[in-house]
Amino acid sequence: MKKFIIISLMAAMTLSTFACAWPGTDNYYLFRPYYAQSFKSRVEKICNDNWKAYIGDTSTDDWYSFHDDDVLKAARQKKDALMVSYVQNLQKYLKCVSVEQDKQYEWGYPTKEEIAAQQRDLKAVRTYAQGKTSSKLRSQHALLYMRCNMMLGQHQENIRFWEQTASQFIETVYKDMMKNIYAGALYKTGREMEAGQLFAEMDDYESLMTLYYQKRSYQAIRQHYMQNPTSKALPWLLTDFVNNAQEAADAITGGGGAVGKQFIRDINNQESSQMQQFCEVVVKEGKTDCPIMWKMAKAWLEFLSGKKREAVDDILAATKLDGTARMKDNAHVLLLYITGSQAKSGQAFDDYIADELEWLKGKQKEHEWGDGFFDEVENRFTNQVLIPHYKSNPIRLAAVCRALNSYGSGFDLDTLNVASLEKYLYYTNTPASTKFDKFLKRNLHENDTTMSELIGTKYMRLCQWDKAIQWLNTVPISYYNEHRTKEYLYYSLVRQWNVEPWSKRQWIDDSQAWWERDHKWGKHRKLDFCKEVQSMENSLSMLNGKALEERCYNLAVRYAQASIHGDCWWLLRDFKSCMDTVRVHEVDLGQKAVQMLQKAVKSSDQSLKRKALFALGYRELYNDMKGVHFWQYSQYSEQAHEYLTYYDRQSPQFLAFQMLYDETGDQPQEDYIRRCDEYAQFRKYYRQHK
Amino acid sequence: MKTRFSLIITLFLLAMTACDRHSSRHILETGNAVYYWRTDLRLDSAEKAFLAQYHINKVYCRYFDVIMSDSGEPKPNATISFSDTLPDSIEIIPTVYITEDCMHQTHEGLAEKIVKRIQQMNETNDIENVREIQIDCDYTSKSRRRYYDFLREISQSSLFTSHFSLLSTTIRLHQLSMEAPPVDYGALMIYNTGDPRKWEERNPILDYRDVHPYLKHLDSYPLPLAAAYPVFQWTRTIHGVRVDHTVEAEEILRVKQAMESEREDLSRSIITYHLDKDNIERYKPDTYEKIYHH
Are A225 and A11 in contact by the 8 Å Cβ rule? The answer is: no
Task: Report the distance separating Cα A249 and Cα A239, nearest Å.
Answer: 15
Q: For the complex shown, is ipTM > 0.85?
A: yes
pLDDT (tens digit, 9 = 90+) per residue, A322-370?
A: 889 999 999 999 999 999 999 999 999 999 999 999 999 999 999 988 8
The pLDDT score that the predictor gives to residue B272 is 98
Instruction: Kindly report the nearest CA distance between residue B77 and chain A, in angstroms.
Output: 5
Q: What is the mean pLDDT of residues B97-114?
A: 96
Least confident of A12-16, A162-166, A465-469, B228-232: A12-16
Are B187 and B170 in contact by the 8 Å Cβ rule? The answer is: yes
Given an 8 Å threshold on Cβ–Cβ distance, is B237 in contact with A249? no
Dihedral (CA of A364, A369, A373, A377) sign: positive
pLDDT (tens digit, 9 = 90+) per residue, A106-140?
A: 999 999 999 999 999 999 999 999 999 999 999 99
Task: Report the distance separating Cα A396 and Cα A471, nearest Å.
Answer: 23
Given an 8 Å threshold on Cβ–Cβ distance, is A105 in contact with B142? no
Query: How would you class A627 by CB atoms within 10 Å of its CB: exposed for 0-12, middle for 13-18, buried for 19 or more?
Result: exposed
The pLDDT score that the predictor gives to residue A600 is 97
Q: Which residue(s) pair with A644 in the sheet?
A: A635
Query: How would you class B34 by CB atoms within 10 Å of its CB: exposed for 0-12, middle for 13-18, buried for 19 or more?
Result: buried
Tell me which residue of A500, A494, A453 sits closest to A474, measured CA to CA. Answer: A453
Say which of A16, A109, A641 has its CB closest to residue B121. Answer: A109
Query: How would you class A120 by CB atoms within 10 Å of its CB: exposed for 0-12, middle for 13-18, buried for 19 or more?
Result: exposed
Given an 8 Å threshold on Cβ–Cβ distance, is A258 in contact with B238? yes
Given an 8 Å threshold on Cβ–Cβ distance, is B40 in contact with A16? yes
pLDDT (tens digit, 9 = 90+) per residue, A37-72?
A: 889 989 999 999 999 999 998 887 777 888 899 999
Which of A620-634, A653-667, B228-242 has the highest mean predicted lDDT (pLDDT)?
A: A653-667
pLDDT (tens digit, 9 = 90+) per residue, B116-154?
A: 999 999 999 999 999 999 999 999 988 999 999 999 999
Using pLDDT thresholds of 50, 70 and 90, give the confidence band for residue B43. very high
Phi, psi for A336 (deg, rounded to 5): -60, -45
Q: What is the mean pLDDT of residues A289-300?
A: 96
DSSP string, A260-291: --TT-----HHHHHHHHHHHHHHHHHT--S-H
Chain B hits for A251, Cβ within 8 Å:
237-240
Task: Report the distance separating Cα B27 and Cα A443, nearest Å.
Answer: 67
Are A690 and A684 in contact by the 8 Å Cβ rule? The answer is: no
Find the residue in A nearest to B243 (Cα): A259
Task: Report the distance separating Cα A609 and Cα A602, nearest Å.
Answer: 7
The pLDDT score that the predictor gives to residue B244 is 77
Instruction: Kindly report the nearest CA distance between residue A311 and chain B, in angstroms.
Output: 21
Q: What is the mean pLDDT of residues A174-183?
A: 98
Largest Cα separation within chain B, whole Å, is 79
Chain A hits for B208, Cβ within 8 Å:
641
The pLDDT score that the predictor gives to residue A61 is 75
Given an 8 Å threshold on Cβ–Cβ distance, is A19 in contact with B39? yes
Are A129 and A89 in contact by the 8 Å Cβ rule? The answer is: yes
Length of chain B: 294
pLDDT value at A7 more than 70: no
- Residue A475 to residues A96, A421, A471, A525, A526, Cα–Cα distance (Å): 60, 16, 7, 11, 10
State which amino acid sits at residue B242.
R
The pLDDT score that the predictor gives to residue A408 is 65
Give the DSSP H/E element, type plus range, for residue B66.
strand B56-68
DSSP string, A24-35: P-----S---S-
pLDDT (tens digit, 9 = 90+) per residue, A232-270?
A: 999 999 999 999 899 888 877 765 544 445 456 778 889
Given an 8 Å threshold on Cβ–Cβ distance, is B208 in contact with A249? no
SS3 for A134-172, per residue?
Answer: CCCCHHHHHHHHHHHHHHHCCHHHHHHHHHHCHHHCCCC
The pLDDT score that the predictor gives to residue A508 is 84
Given an 8 Å threshold on Cβ–Cβ distance, is A105 in contact with B40? no
Cβ neighbours of residue A385 closer than 8 Å, sequence gap 6 or more: A337, A340, A341
B261 in reach of chain A (CB within 8 A)? no
Q: What is the mean pLDDT of residues B196-224?
A: 89
Look at residue A513 and give its three-state secondary structure. Answer: coil
Look at residue A522 and give its three-state secondary structure. Answer: coil
Chosen for mutation from B237, B238, B262 (greatest number of chain A CBs closer than 10 Å) is: B237
Please give the interface size between A and B, counted as residue pairs whose CB atoms are below 8 Å apart: 75
Task: Report the distance separating Cα B18 and Cα B33, nearest Å.
Answer: 29
